[in-house]
Structure 1
Amino acid sequence: MQNTAETAPDAPLDTTPLLDDPHTAYAGLREAGPVHRITGADGQPAWLVTRYDDVRRALADPRLSLDKRHAAPGGFRGFALPPALDANLLNMDPPDHTRIRRLVGKAFTPGRVDALRAPVRRVAEELLDAMERRGGPADLIADYAGPLPITVICDLLGVPHQDRRDFLAWSDALITPDPARPELMRQAIGAMLEFYTGLIAAKRAEPGDDLLSDLVAVRDDTDGSGGAGGGDRLTEDELTSLAFLILFAGYENTVHLIGNAVLTLLDHPEELQELQRNPAELPAAVEEFLRYDGPSPLAIRRFPKEDMEIGGVRIPAGQSVLLAIASANRDPARFPDPDRLDRGRELSGHLALGHGIHYCLGAPLARMETVTALEALLARFPELRLAVPRGDLRHRPALRSRGLISLPVAW
């Protein structure tokens, strides 16, 4: 297994083990070398960075661009998103990234997130009420971990209740596309674009007390002040893309974080019991759940603006670079005994939510939702257990997203 710039681009490593047993596979890659050639999710060769120090530095390195215009010709094929959904923060560098992040960042300040804690707990209790009425077993993903964040983020944006079920179906088509039926992804993208365009038009016609109405007002502010001081503005494509990203990312990451955290506790019953006795320890526990089995194994792909070295490996300009968050978070050089769940370890440096200017914008909300979801669940069902053999559980077949297809539980 070679780790030099001369590694043949037409013979990248097989990524199947990263889907089947990612933590074991990443451990082997870390041991073998800091950087490897793999086939990315777009079917193109990419450079995979596996060790903590290299990943952390690369996350904050301005030479690594998120803007696809820095990709080498023919070297990247991502989602075929229309411009109105593609002009988002995951494809931007400063100064555009700085301008747009500043506009939306005020919605995710600690104070605003804390004000949402009681509404989130209310939604959690309502979902648990419904589970209890139906009786077990239940699918914790479909009945709890999924509906909770979609309800919260849709309420934040002002999405009507009748549109939320459709959004879940579209999101699933994008997160885990069916290679045998590529038309399903195209249909989902078309439906999403129509949905967001119509939603923005509705907010223009009748603004509400919600984040999307506020962003529409910024977009339509004709004096150029943008309501933020300093001339911040949004183009129409940026507005639509921002709504798409907030809703999509706010759902996808949190549902997987909650699901993975619950499974981790079911795998460690002594930890589950301890947190039931001491729910005040949940915020610190969630940090270890993020490190141990976070929802995003890979950071969004990056493109070197110039030839550069990572971990002593030369990477040509424009080629895709994938930073393995899941591998970095279990690097024994940074986290001793990394495969052991340890709520007492020092966790300030975990990378599950990123690092640098692209650090997850919704991190405070995701943390709060997960803590609140676990508090309510553990209090309601103290004898929570798996309803199927552990080996029957399956994760979504996606390199970039780590989440369970279902989580059948009983109590």
Structure 2
Amino acid sequence: MADAPKMFTPEFLANPHPVWKHLRETAPVVPVVYPGEMTIYFVTRFDEVRSVLADTRFSKDRSALTDGDLRPERFERDERLAAFHQNLNMVDPPNHSRLRRVVGRQLPPRKVRALEDRARAYARELLEKFAETGKADLIGDLVLPFAEKILGDFNGTDVLTAEENRFMRDKISLLISPPYDLRLDDFEVLKHEIMEVIVTLLERREANPNDCVFSGFIAERDAGELSELELFALTITMLFSGIESVIAFTGTALHSLLRNPEQLELLKARPELLQNAIEELIRYDSGTQIGTFRFTREEIEVGGVAIPAGSTVCPLLAAAHRDPAKFANPDRLDITREDNHHLGFGLGIHNCIGALFGRMLAGIAVEAIVTGLADVRLAVEPADLKWKPGLLHRALFELPVAFAPVGVPA
């Protein structure tokens, strides 16, 4: 029998799907020892992942933990950083319900949709900067500046200098996609560095209010709807759930199309398939590989496997999305796929509140490349692409491409 594929290796980063397949075929729930000697119970199959996402017995509050490095008393030794673990993704009802209403008031669909024309125009503007050269890094030249500008203006980070924004983004990226050898003290240093910029951001935003999300949060605090700690917690929620997620998914979407040129050509020929293609790209290889950790306050049985109380549980979205019991030919990218009820934006009370925004921005960026560049292809061998570490996001550092320069027939 062949050896099982190994996690946390360069091969795993380049293509985690053989590992996810092995775990899925092993059991619906598989305990895995993460670097740092922390055991995580991975839930691997579609039906079981769906049940965990919807089951309110699973807590998002780390105080449920009795083992591992994520216990509050081990992980958080500085109370000033408590906001990092009281953000919207890490609290239970009733606080979660109240905070989600606050965020929802700042993200009404009409406000999000009102950005569409401006976002599309900015994507075209970025593309025009390199369209005549015949080469580009789609992450650095398009996806990153696009997400940073549109989401940054919407949230309100435009009061920071370019250097401050870059510093904060780099630190957040490192915290979200950490090297596997990063330890407790390293995480705390990163959080202190991020918190210093957030304090500056909110002070400047308070002095210069506008229609952005962070100005809205400050007004909610002033009206007594948020405490000071909750203001910081929701700011962290938006910073961590926004730009990095959009960059990760848009990068993997473009990578998937480039690795499946027949699907890219089909999308060029049938642009009306764009929204369907976005859903299939989320299923096929989303930038978000896992649902955020859950914790058990009691023993819970999933798929016939008993998960002990005090455990860390990880719904493995990437494994569920390639489950042949749910999806026909799951390893095939098919932008015409109709039965595509994926879990990419979660389920239940913790479903992604920014799903509309994420779909819209990813769709606009993909549309810009598909309609604006001819004969676009990878400019390096797939094995030479560099992927960020970590479990939450599957994200590229760069995506070099070549294409027919504007004015030159393909």
1:403 aligns with 2:401: no
Tell me the SS of whatever aligns to 1:384: strand
Amino acid corresponding to residue 58 of structure 2 in structure 1: L
Q: Does 1:339 align with 2:331?
A: yes
Q: Judge conservation of contact 1:384–1:409 (CA < 8 Å) in 2.
A: yes
Contact 1:332 1:338 in 2 (8 A): yes
- Residue type at the aligned position of 1:164: N
Is the Cα contact below 8 Å between 1:14 and 1:38 reproduced in 2?
A: no
2:102 corresponds in structure 1 to 103
Q: Which amino acid aligns with 2:277?
A: A
Question: What's the CA shift for 1:298?
Answer: 1.2
Shift in Å at residue 367 of structure 1? 0.2
Aligned to 1:192: 194
Change (3 A) 1:358 1:179: closer
Deviates more, 1:270-279 or 1:44-53: 270-279
Give the 3-state SS of the residue equivalent to 1:383 in structure 2: strand
Task: Return the offset for 1:195.
Answer: 1.3
Partner residue in 1 for 2:346 = 354
Residue 40 of structure 2 is aligned to residue 46 of structure 1: yes
Q: Is the aligned partner of 1:34 residue 2:64?
A: no
Identity percentage of aligned residues:
38
TM-score norm. by structure 1 comes to 0.89
Tell me how far apart the structure 2 counterparts of residues 109 and 90 of structure 1 sit (CA, whole Å): 19
Q: 1:155 to 1:347 in 2, by over 3 A?
A: farther
Aligned partner of 2:112 in structure 1 is: 113
Structure 1 residue 393: deviation in Å? Answer: 1.4
1:177 to partner: Cα distance? 2.8
CA distance in 2, matches of 1:321, 1:178: 21
What SS does structure 1 have at the residue aligned with 2:342? coil
Task: Please name the residue that 2:252 is paired with.
Answer: 260
Task: Check the 8 A contact 2:177/2:391 in 1, yes or no.
Answer: no
Q: Where in structure 2 are there 5+ consecutive unaligned residues?
A: 404-410
Inter-partner Cα distance in structure 2 for 1:188 and 1:154:
21
1:379 to 362, 371, 379: 371
**Would you say 1:168 and 2:160 are equivalent positions?**
no
- Aligned residue number for residue 141 of structure 2: 143
Q: 1:336, CA displacement in angstroms? A: 1.2
Measure how far apart 1:64 and its partner are.
0.4
Q: Deviations over 1:353-381 (max 9, x none)?
A: 11111111111000000111111122221
Q: Is the 8 A contact 2:346 2:352 kept in 1?
A: yes
Range moving further from structure 2, 62-71 or 264-273: 264-273
Q: C-alpha separation between the residues in 2 aligned to 1:142 and 1:56?
A: 35
Superposition deviation, residue 205 in structure 1: 2.5
* 1:112/1:43 CA distance change after superposition, 3 Å: farther
What letter is aligned with 1:58? V
Deviation at 1:248, TM superposition (A): 2.1
Q: What secondary structure is seen at the aligned counterpart in 2 of 1:37?
A: strand
CA separation in 1, counterparts of 2:173 and 2:70?
22
Q: In 1, distance between residues paired with 2:174 and 2:248?
A: 16
Amino acid corresponding to residue 279 of structure 1 in structure 2: P
1:20–1:385: structure 2 CA closer, same or farther, 3 Å change rule? closer
* Residue 59 of structure 2 corresponds to residue 69 of structure 1: no
Rate the CA distance shift 1:311–1:55 in 2: closer, same or farther, 3 A.
Answer: same
Structure 2: distance between partners of 1:45 and 1:187: 24
Please tell me the residue identity of whatever aligns with 2:31: R
Decide whether the 8 Å contact of 2:39 with 2:68 is kept in 1.
no
Change (3 A) 1:190 1:130: farther
| Structure 2 partner of 1:219 | 221
Query: Secondary structure of 1:38's partner?
Result: strand
Give, as a single letter, the amino acid of the residue that structure 1 aligns with 2:217. L
Supply the distance in 2 between the matched residues of 1:179 and 1:324 (Cα, whole angstroms).
18
Q: 1:75, 1:395 → 2: CA distance?
A: 25
Contact kept, 8 Å, 1:257 with 1:290, in 2: the verdict is yes
The one-letter amino acid paired with 1:99 is R
Secondary structure at the residue paired with 1:138?
strand
* Counterpart contact for 2:14–2:386, Cα < 8 Å: no
Structure 2 distance, partners of 1:204, 1:321, is 39
Tell me the secondary structure at the aligned position of residue 339 of structure 1. Answer: coil
Q: Give the direction of change, closer, same or farther, for the CA distance of 1:83–1:369 in structure 2 (3 Å limit).
A: same
Which residues in structure 2 correspond to 1:184-333 (within 5 Å)?
185-221=187-223, 224=224, 233-333=225-325
Per the TM alignment, residue 306 of structure 1 is displaced from its structure 2 partner at its CA by: 0.9
What letter is aligned with 2:291? A
Amino acid at match of 1:354: G
1:122 alignment counterpart = 121
Alpha-carbon offset, residue 302 of structure 1 = 0.7
Preserved CA contact (<8 Å) 1:173 1:184? no
Q: Which residue matches 1:93?
A: 92
Aligned residue for 2:245, secondary structure, equals helix
The residue identity in structure 1 corresponding to 2:178 is P
Displacement of 1:406 in angstroms is 1.3
Shift of 1:276: 1.6
- Residues 299 and 308, structure 2, Cα contact 8 Å, conserved in 1: yes
- The answer for unaligned runs of 5 or more in structure 1 is 2-12, 225-232
Deviation at 1:204, TM superposition (A): 2.3
Shift of 1:66: 0.5
- Is the contact between residue 280 and residue 334 of structure 2 (CA under 8 Å) also seen in structure 1? yes
CA contact (8 A) 2:283 2:344 kept: yes
1:244-291 Cα offsets, whole Å, 9 max, x none, are: 221221111111111111111111112111212222211110000000
Q: CA deviation at 1:384?
A: 1.0
Mapped to 2, the partners of 1:242 and 1:85 lie a distance apart of: 9
**Aligned length in residues:** 389
Q: CA deviation at 1:178?
A: 4.2
d(CA) in 2 for partners of 1:191 and 1:299?
Answer: 26
Structure 1's 157 and 324: CA in aligned 2 closer, same or farther, altered over 3 A? same
